[in-house]
Structures are given as structure tokens and as C-alpha cells.
Structure 1
Amino acid sequence: MILQSLNRCYERLNARGEIAPEGFESKEIPFVLVIDAQGNLVQIDDTRSGAGKQRIVGAYLVPSAVKRSVGIAANLLWDTAEYVVGLVREGGNPVRVADQHAAFRARIAELLSRTQDEGLLAVQRFLDADPLVQVEADPKAPELRQGNPNLTFRYVEDVASVPVCLRPAVIEALSQTAPTDTEVQAFCLVRGESDTTARLHPPIKGVWGARTSGANVVSFNLDAFNSYGKTQSYNAPVGERAAFAYTTALNHLLRKGSRHRLQVGDASTVFWAEEGSPFEDIFAALLGGSEPDDPKRGIDVVRDWLSAPVTGAYRDVEDDTRFHVLGLAPNAARIAVRFWQVGPVREFSGHIRQHLADIAIAAPSFESPYLPLWRLLASTALKGESKNVVPNLAGDTMRAIIAGTEYPAALLQAAIRRARAEQARKDQNGKSVSNVSYPRAALIKACLNRQARLRSTSDKELLMSLDLENRDPAYRLGRLFSALERIQSAAQPGISATIRERYYGAASSSPASVFPILLRLKNHHLAKLDSAALKAWYEKLLGEIFLGIGPDFPRHLDLPAQGRFAIGYYHQTQDFFTRKSPTDSAAANDSTQGD
């Protein structure tokens, strides 16, 4: 199913000229050897531009790379400097390099048996005329020796500056390759036609955490994977054409700078539509993948998309175009499929809209109203860093969003666990970090509401902002804790550590053991207030909150109740900054607003 969809994706992209034709791939080639008809090296073109980490290497269409690990196998008309000119790097093995260069020359000789193209003959003459001597005389030789970069050829007479491998006669000769005795013809499971079975599939590159040389989605590299005497990829016959098509399409989607990929935790996620759809261009912005340099990037895209049905700009709720989302993660020498979701655009659109509605919560004035996925996940990790997100959690969360199912149970657990663990953490500026930060509160609210909705429980859905009608004891206890913290801050302006730093974890899990202590402290704090009106206002607020708690404090709160406690605390804290009364002016300027 996945391979068939990628095969169709390749056919569409190839028809539009957006992807490498069959038998070719796009490859970064830093240096191009320009030769004349006699095989003389005219110059070495440096295709690189920019400087430092921003340096960009020119990319060319070249014949598809061979698969190699420790053995010697040469690419056709391009390869590293060791293969192309026999250049031995510092500490290199001269004997091995000589064998590599011989293998490269053998492939050129074999191609010459099918075409006597002028540019190809020039390459042959260059290789016959001691190419290493000519290259060593060029000023760029030290860079070649140090980095062993990829090289290819250009015939000086070609005004279009295309490499020799793209000359029409060479392309025609490459398409005439006849099957060898070792090739096996079989029914291709992807294309549904007879084809030469691909023994090894081209590597997939660009998956975060996988080998830089590439890994495979399909491979059989151990005896335990063999069946009925079938070894390697003969276990699941995929034709050469299909293997090229699906790997080329996937590498194209995963390439650097692709607008069809986003990084979700350890899952490299690619997406595409069967046909052209505006949804392709905004999908990544709607979820926000990897942590961008600009945290507010994509806000306008989300805002315009949410208002599009009203303005009539784009009605994705009526878009039946088939859409695909594929999540890949490293797994030793292979690539694991973390998730795979297929459906019409309107279905994906509806699920993402629901996700955005679920995470919507009152935000501090300096925050964006649309939280990207990476910030939600980072709020569950140590120090709020994306690299510390629990493995598999990101992929499972992404699957829940695009499928419209419950968020993983581990997500709620991780968010609440961090809220309790970070009760005394400070940021890099020394400012106390709120246990229940904006993204963490949004995540807890989303998990609880979706769980209640999909399980059809009697639990009241949590609102975006303070809900005065919510009588849930845990929610009220969270409000009470926030009010007690507020009273302490009003009584002791500039206090470095409030009751949140010492008591939040215990109060949110074992209220009966903590709140009696906090209420006794409250009496001392109220006595320190100079304003009688402010004291009366706080007493009235506490009385209103106590209406939903009952005569006795609960001994223990389960995980969902701890989540409601967190939201009650967050809602009440944010309300102190948005609903200001004349009597609360002294407390309104306190610096404990959630981050």
C-alpha cells in the first residue's frame, strides 16, 4: 500500500518534470571536471556557493547510485575523487583506490560498447591520459584530496553546460541495458506487471537519526527473514522500475528544504496529495513540525486557514482529494514506519481543526493563539527541550491528531509529571517557571476533553478560560491553590518562592495532606494586607471556590483529576491578569503570570 502510493506519487511528479527520470537521481556534485575532445582537463568548476554552514552545493541529475557497503562498486560517470581519478587521500589505501578507479573505468568501457558518443569518448581519453596528473596540477587539488568529494564530467563543447551523463546519446544507451543471467523476472507486487526483481533497493536518505549513507524500508538481510528458499528482496518481489520509483519519490519528499516534510520528534514525516491540493502547501504550517528559528512562524497561515470557509477562499471541508501522511523513524539498519494515514483532505482537515479546538486555551498576551506541535511535545520533556521528548511519543501523538483518535495515555502522564517535577525550576534568567505553562495547560486540556468526548463520559469538558460553573472538586482545588498563592504574593510582594515551589506536587495529588496547612498560612497572609477592601475581595473569592469542594479534602487525586487540578490552577491564575477589579489592582501587577 505504501509503496504503491509512493510509486503513483513518482509518476505524477515525473509527468510534471519535478523529479529525476527513471534511472537517474539528483546528486550534489561540488566539482565538475571540464574536458575537451582530446581528453585534456580544461578546468575544474566549483559548483558551491555561499560560505560556512550556509554553503550550497550544486545538484545534478546523474545515473542512480549503486548500492555498496564495504565492497567496491563504481557509479557511472560520477563518483568520489578516489573512484573517478584514483586520488589517494591522506592515510588512504593506494591498492584499494587503484581497484576503485579500475572499476570506474570498467563501467565507462562497458557503456562505450553501446554508444560512441563524442562526450563519452572524451571522458575515455581523459582517463587514458593519466587523469591524476592533470587533476594534481589544478589549484583545487588539495580540496579534492582532503574531502574526497563527488565529481562528474562536462564536455567543453556542450554550450548548455550539462554533464556528459545527460547527453542524449548517453541517455539512450542507458535505456538499452539488457537483462543479465543473474537477473530474475517476476510479477512486481507494486506495479502489477512482470519486471526484473530488484535484489537490493536504493537507500532512503534524509530520515532523522538513520545512517547518513541511507537505510531501507524493504530489506531481508538475515537468514531468519528468508522463506521458501527466497533470499534478500526476492522474498517480496518488487520490480526494478517500482523500486526506483518509490525510493526516488521518498527521497524527493525527504530532501533538505522540502515543503512536503516536517520533523515530529524522532519521526520524519512526509505528506502528499494524489492530485494538486492547496492543503499540501499548508499542512506543515498547521501542525508546526521542527522547532523553527521563529516561534511565531505559521500563525498567519493557520489564521487564514481557519477563516477560509467563511471568506470562501478555500473550502477544504469539500475537498475529496486523497491525502497521505507517512511517519518514518530510524531502526538500526532499517527505517521503521511509525504511522501511515490515508484519507480525503476534508477528513484530515476536520481532524486538525478539532485538534486546534481541543488545545485552545486562554493564553498570556505575549503568546501565540496557535501552538505548534513541537511546543506541545517539548512541554512534556525535561527542561522543555525537544531533544528530551520520550521516544515514540511524538509519532503516537501525530497519529492521534491526523486520525482523530484519543491522544496517547503517555502524553497526559508526561505533561502532569513535568508539572509536578518542575515546581521549583527557574529559567535562564533566574525567573521562576510556572508548573502549568501555557503549552502544558493546552495539552492537558486537550487530552482530558478528547478522552471525555470519545469515551462519552459524564465529565464536563474544560473551557478555554475560567469556568465559574465548573463544580468538579479537582478543578476547584486547582483554583483554590492559585488563589492562596495570589494572597501570599499580595501579602509578601517580591517573594522569591511561593507555595507553588514547595507544595504544588503534593497539593495536586494528595490535597488532604497539604490544604489544611495552606489555609492556616492563608490566615497569616490575609492579616498582613493593608487594604480591607482587598482582604474582603479575597475572602469572597475563597468562599465562592469552596462551594464546589465539599466538607472534606480528597485524600488522593487520580491522573485525570490531577489534570483538572492543573487546568483549574491555570485558569484562575490567568484570570487574575485578565479580569481586574478596582479592589484587585494591587495584586494585578504581581509577576507570577504563567509562561
Structure 2
Amino acid sequence: MILQALTRYYQTLADRGEISPPGWNEVRIAYALCIREDGTLEQVISTQTEQKKGSKTVIAPQAMELPAPVKRSSGIAANFLWDSSTYLLGVDNKGRPQRALDCFKAAKELHENLLSQVSTPAARAILAFFQTWQPEQAITHPALAHCLDEILSGVNLVFRFNGTYIQQDSMIRKAWNEHYQAAGDGPSMVCLVTGKYGPVESIHPAIKNVQGAQSSGAALVSFNAPAFCSYGKEQNYNAPTSKYAAFAYTASLNHLLADWEHVHHVGDTTVVCWAKCGGNVYQDFMGWFSFGQSEPSYTLEELQSALKNLCAGNTVELNEELLDPDMEFYILGLSPNAARLSVRFFLKNSFGAFLRNVQAHQQRLEIVRPSYDKSDTISLWKLLSETVNQNSRDKSPAPNLSGDVMRAILTNTCYPVSLLNGVTLRIRAEHAITPGRAAILKAYYLKNPNPDIPKEVLTVSLNPDSCNIPYNLGRLFSVLEAIQSAANPGVNTTIKDKYFNSASATPAMVFPVLTNLAQKHLKQLDPGLRTYYNKQLTAIFSKLGENYPSHLNLPQQGSFQLGYYHQTQARFEKKEEKENV
């Protein structure tokens, strides 16, 4: 399913002229080796350009269409027309000079085999270069002096002759295309992607730019142990994929991962998405709505209006492109796994259905916020950060949590229990209920109903009419904390720091102590303020039974925590209203 969708997407991009043809890939090149017709290295020029990476502008290698890279593990295999200094110059900084010489020899043999019958000046210049270049002269060569350290670090190099790049020579391109089509000696089998019979690939091209994976690339399809094999087949013959399909799915996935503006990182998961018809406008919109990505080319009013219409099933024009809510849309989440990739999730649905699911999730998260919190929604990364200790060195959420939460949001299914556990642990550890944590509690129990936490407490703001005992105990704790703070202005440690966890778990043991303490605090207040707090206490006590519960289970503790948060926010809102009068 994944490979088929990516292969179809490759064909869509090819029809739009947005991706390289079979046998060619976009490669990031840092420097060009300018050579003369006799093969002499004349100069080395930088091909790096200013590029946008997120909100920043950085100097980065330029993307060029070049012959597809070979698959490397620990062996020696050269790329055609481009590579690192190890292959093109026979020298690097890895401390293995003999291996570098062997790599240069492999590159020389490859270029001689492919270009021996090509009679263009560019081809003759390349052959002359490999015949005359002496790797031992690289360190002292004047053309390399200004950039030697960077070149030896492993950046990609390309050849340039007579003012143009070698790969632009039509006869050299033809020689490579013939070589690429003829290469491969895999057995003929039925391709699982296209359904056609023919030779299949034993090793698929590498996938690059997945966060945390090897920089040289990782495999999406791979069999590396006998336990994974069957019927005597080896390696990827267990999942037969034709040469075209292997190239197409890897090329389209690498194309998506190379587009920094539309790649999202959720925990350890790298997420890409695409519409069946191609085009960036679908990705732009999904990035803004689902991942909190800012998109300055659209106004907030335009995006909100488009969202409303798309969720209603109407076609919308945005940035001179039509957004069809019925368009097939795909979302793929990948995580690193040594030299391989793990698929966290792969989801297919209509574009409008994904938006409606995310909108339902955002509506469940709606909760009253402090006045300084101007955000309209809680982005996914912010949601997951509420489960992490922000004082720890590693602020990444649990490995499986990001994928599980993302899948639940996009499919509109129950949230994972690990999300609730993560938030509960942080509340217990920090004795703090942030707007994000309160929103997660509310959303979790709205989607995962529990009889011990009724809907009457799962509201956006305070519900003073609720008769739920745990909820009102949370409200009572907030009022008792306010009384303490009023009696002791500027106090650093409140009852929340000492009693919050025990009050929410075993109220019968804690609240008698706290109410007695509150009576002493009330005596220190002026009559007007004392009356104000007594009225609040009376209203809440009227909703509690004669005895405090001896124990509250986890959902009931969630109700307590929401009651505390709602009451505290209501207190701050009234304070702000008084200050604004």
C-alpha cells in the first residue's frame, strides 16, 4: 500500500515535471571541480546557495539532477559524475588512505566503462582527469587550498567543464540512461507494486533526511536475517519489487523528505504528507492546521474560511489552486531504526475527512486559558511536550507516543492510554495543571468516556452547577489555596505544593486538615474578603456529602484536577475584570 501510493505519486510528479526521470535523482552538491580538456583541475567553486530552512535562511549545498546514487553498505561502489572526495579525488580525512585509493580506482573504472565510447569534449575531459589525477597531490593542490577541510569532510562534488556541468552533456546522459536500464541481474518475478512480470531489485535505493536515521540513508524495505526470509529467497526478493517501482517509490519519498517546508517532526517521528494530484497547497494547508506550521503567504482569515468550507465538503480556491475535500490524501510517519526505517503510521483518507478529524480533536481540546495565552489551538508538538519534564536534558516524548497520538487524531479514534499516563505523571511530579494538561484531560475523557468522570465536568470553563463530588473537591482545593494566599501575600509555598497529590487521591485524610487551616487564615482577612470566601465555601460544601471520599480512582482524580483548574482560572478572570474596571 505504501509503495504503491508512493509509486503513483512519482508518476504524478513526473507528469508535472517536478521530479527527476528514472535513473536520476536530486543530489545536494557543495563544490564543483572545474577541469580543462586535458583533465587538469583548474579550480574548485562553491555551489552552495542561500536557502530557507524553516524560519531561517542558511547556506546549504545546491540540489542538482544527477545519476541516481548507488546503494552502499560497507563495500566500495562509485557514483557516476558525482561523489565525495574519497571517490573523485582519492583522499579524505577518515584515516584510511588505502581505502580512499581503492574508491578512486572504482570511480575511474566506472567512468572509463561508461564514457569510453562517448566522443564529446566533456567525456574526454573526464577520462583525462581520471587518467592523470594523482591522489597524493590533493593535499597540496592550489585549487583545493581554500576549501580543503570541507571537501575532505565528505561533501558531494561534481564535475564542471567549459562553463557547464558535465551531467548536462546529452551524449553522457544517454550513456548513463543505457547503463541504468541494462544494469541489474535480479530474477524475473511478479512485482508486488506494479503487478508486472520482470527482473526485480535485490537492494533498493536509500531513503535520506529522516530525523535520527543514518545520514547516508536508510532502507524502507530490507531483509537482513534468515528469520525474515522464506521459500529460499534472499534479501528483497522476499518482497519482489521491479527496478522501476524501487526507483519510483524511493525517488518520490526522498523528494518529499527533501522539502524542508513540508516535513514535520513529532517526537522521533518524521512526517510527510501528499495529495494524489500533487501540488503544495494541500501540504501547506495540512501543515498549518495539523502541525502548527505558520504559512505567511495566507492570512489567518483566508485559512479559517477555507477550513470551514472544506469541512463542510465545499471546494475552495487558495493561492490560485483548487482544494478538493474529496481528494485522496496520504500521511506517512517514519522513525529511525539503525540502518532501517520503522513505519509509525500510514494513513489514507480524503483531504476533507482528515481536516474534520483534526477539527474534532481541536474542539475537544478547547478550554479556558489565561489572558497571556493568545494561541487559538494547541499544536501537536505542544500537546506532546506536556508529557515531558521540561527540566530534563532530553525533552523528547516517549518513542511510541507521538505516532499513537497522531494516528488517533487523524483517524478520530480513542487517544492512547500512554497520553493520559504521561500527563498524570507530570501533574503528580510538578503539582501543576497547565492549560495544555487540562485540555488533554478534557479531550481524553470526551473521546474515551468513563462513568467516573461525567460530561458535566468536561466543559471549556467552570461549571458551578456540577454536583460531581471529585470535581467540587478540586474547586474546594483551589478556594482553600486562594484563602491561604490572601492571608499570606507573597507566600512561596502553598498547600498545592504539599497536599495536592494526596488531596486528589485520599480526600478524607487531607481535607479536614486543610479546612481547619483555612479557618485560621480567614480570621486574618478583612471582613469583606472573609465574607467573599465564605460564600464560595458554602456554595461548594452544599454540593458535597457529609463525608469526604476515602479514595479517588484515576478518572475521579482527573475530575478533581479539572475542577481545580476551572476554579483557579475563574478566580484569575474575576481579578482581571476588577483590574480593567
Taking structure 1 as the reference length, the TM-score comes to 0.88
* Residues 276, 60 of structure 1: alpha-carbon distance in 2 compared, 3 angstrom cutoff: closer
Q: Which residue in the other structure is 1:154 paired with?
A: 160
Return closer, same or farther for 1:457/1:500 CA change in 2, 3 Å cut-off. closer
Partner of 2:142: 137
2:342 is the alignment partner of 1:336: yes
- Would the aligned equivalents of 1:288 and 1:298 in 2 still touch at CA under 8 Å? no
Match of 1:66 in 2: 70
Displacement after TM superposition at 1:204 (Å): 1.1
Report the counterpart of residue 25 of structure 1 in structure 2. 25
Aligned position for 1:345: 351
Residue 183 of structure 1, CA deviation: 2.9
CA pair 466-440 structure 1, distance change in 2 beyond 3 A: same
What SS class does the counterpart of residue 123 from structure 1 fall into? helix
Contact 1:197 1:238 in 2 (8 A): yes
Q: Distance in 1 between matches of 2:299 and 2:203?
A: 42
Q: Contact (CA 8 Å) 2:445, 2:453: kept in 1 or not?
A: no
What is the letter of the counterpart of residue 232 of structure 2?
A: G
Distance 1:299 1:106 in 2: 50
Deviation digits for residues 273-315 of structure 1, max 9, x if unmatched? 11257442121222336xx8xxx889987765444366x6995
The separation in 1 between residues aligned to 2:11 and 2:110, in whole angstroms, is 29
| 2:108 counterpart residue number | 105
Q: Which residue of 2 aligns with 1:169?
A: 171
The answer to whether the 8 Å contact 2:453/2:559 transfers is no
SS in 1 for 2:476: helix
Asked whether the 8 Å contact 1:363–1:369 carries over to 2, the reply is no
1:243 aligned residue: 246
Corresponding residue of 1:267: 269
Seq. identity, %: 38
The answer for unaligned runs of 5 or more in structure 2 is 316-324
The Cα shift of 1:580 comes to: 4.7
SS of residue paired to 1:383: coil
Shift, 1:508, TM fit: 1.2
- How far the C-alpha of 1:19 sits from its partner, in A, is 2.0
1:70 is aligned with what amino acid?
S
Closer, same or farther: CA 491–408 of 1 in aligned 2, 3 Å: same
Distance 1:364 1:475 in 2: 20
Structure 2 residue 568 is the aligned partner of structure 1 residue 573: yes
Asked if 1:327 corresponds to 2:333, the answer is yes
Q: Deviations over 1:499-546 (max 9, x none)?
A: 11111111111111111111001100111002x122111111111112
User: Aligned partners of 1:333, 1:11: CA distance in 2, in Å?
Assistant: 27
SS at match of 2:433: coil
Contact 2:29–2:156 (8 Å) recurs in 1? yes
- Give the aligned residue type for 1:191: T
Amino acid paired to 1:507 = A
Sort the Cα spacing of 1:130 and 1:221 in 2 relative to 1 into closer, same or farther, 3 A: same
Structure 1 position 175, deviation (Å)? 2.0
Kindly indicate whether residue 453 of structure 2 is the aligned counterpart of residue 471 of structure 1.
no
CA displacement at 1:73 relative to structure 2: 0.8
Match of 2:548 among 549, 553, 567: 553
In the alignment, is residue 441 of structure 1 matched against residue 438 of structure 2? yes
Return closer, same or farther for 1:383/1:351 CA change in 2, 3 Å cut-off.
same
SS of equivalent residue, structure 1 residue 55 = strand
User: Would you say the 8 A contact 1:308–1:315 is kept in 2?
Assistant: no
1:538 aligns with 2:533: yes
| AA partner of residue 403 (structure 2) | G
Corresponding position of 2:196: 193
SS of equivalent residue, structure 1 residue 65: coil
Question: Tell me, what secondary structure is at the counterpart of 1:460?
Answer: helix
Cα deviation, residue 577, structure 1:
1.7
Partner of 1:514: 510
Residues 1:251 and 1:373: Cα distance change in structure 2 (over 3 Å): same
Q: Give 1:207-356 correspondences, 5 Å limit.
A: 207-255=210-258, 257-259=260-262, 261-276=263-278, 278-288=281-291, 304-308=302-306, 319-356=325-362
Distance 1:127 1:398 in 2: 51
Distance 2:333 2:444 in 1: 22
Task: Give distance in 1, aligned partners of 2:452 and 2:298.
Answer: 34
TM-superposition CA deviations, 1:357-411 (whole Å, max 9, x none): 0111011111112111111111111127772412211110111000000111111
Whether the aligned pair in 2 keeps the contact of 1:112 and 1:120 (CA below 8 Å) is: yes
Alpha carbons 1:208, 1:266 under 8 Å: kept: yes
Question: Structure 2-normalised TM-score?
Answer: 0.90
Letter of the 1:369 partner, please give it. D
Are the aligned partners of 1:299 and 1:370 in contact in 2 as well (CA < 8 Å)?
A: no
Deviation, structure 1 residue 118: 2.6
Mark the CA change 1:19 to 1:91 in structure 2 (over 3 Å): closer, same or farther: closer
CA gap of 1:502–1:90, structure 2 versus 1, over 3 A, is: same
1:323 Cα deviation (Å)? Answer: 0.8
Structure 1: distance between partners of 2:452 and 2:333: 30
What is the distance in 2 between the residues matched to 1:525 and 1:109?
Answer: 91
**Which shifted more, 562-571 or 205-214?**
205-214
- Please give the secondary structure, in 1, of the residue aligned with 2:449: helix
1:81 aligns with 2:85: yes
Q: 2:390 aligns with which of 374, 379, 383?
A: 383
The more displaced of 125-134 and 342-351 is 125-134
Give the counterpart letter for 1:324 in structure 2: Y
Question: How far 1:325 moved relative to its partner?
Answer: 0.8
Counterpart for residue 415 of structure 1: 423
Residues 1:325 and 1:456: Cα distance change in structure 2 (over 3 Å): farther
Deviations 1:41-64 (A, max 9, x none): 232111234699933122211111
CA distance in 1, matches of 2:385, 2:254: 28
Unaligned 5+ residue runs, structure 1?
A: 424-434, 590-595
Q: Distance in 2 between matches of 1:438 and 1:389?
A: 18
- In the alignment, the residues of structure 2 paired with residue 561 and residue 299 of structure 1 have an alpha-carbon distance, to the nearest angstrom, of 46
Report the Cα offset of residue 165 of structure 1: 2.0
Matching residue of 2:208:
205
Quickly say closer, same or farther: Cα 1:361–1:91, change in 2 above 3 A.
closer
3-state DSSP of counterpart to 2:60: coil
Is 1:183 aligned with 2:190? no
- Corresponding residue number in structure 2 for 1:505: 501
Mapped to 1, the partners of 2:60 and 2:473 lie a distance apart of 57
AA partner of residue 570 (structure 1) = Y
Alpha-carbon separation, structure 2, partners of 1:539 and 1:450: 37
CA distance in 2, matches of 1:422, 1:299: 40
How many angstroms does 1:40 deviate by?
A: 2.7
Is the 1:285–1:301 contact (alpha carbons within 8 Å) kept by the matching residues of 2? no
1:428 alignment partner in structure 2: none
Matched, 1:117 2:114: no
Q: For residues 90 and 50 of structure 1, what CA distance do their matches in structure 2 show?
A: 27
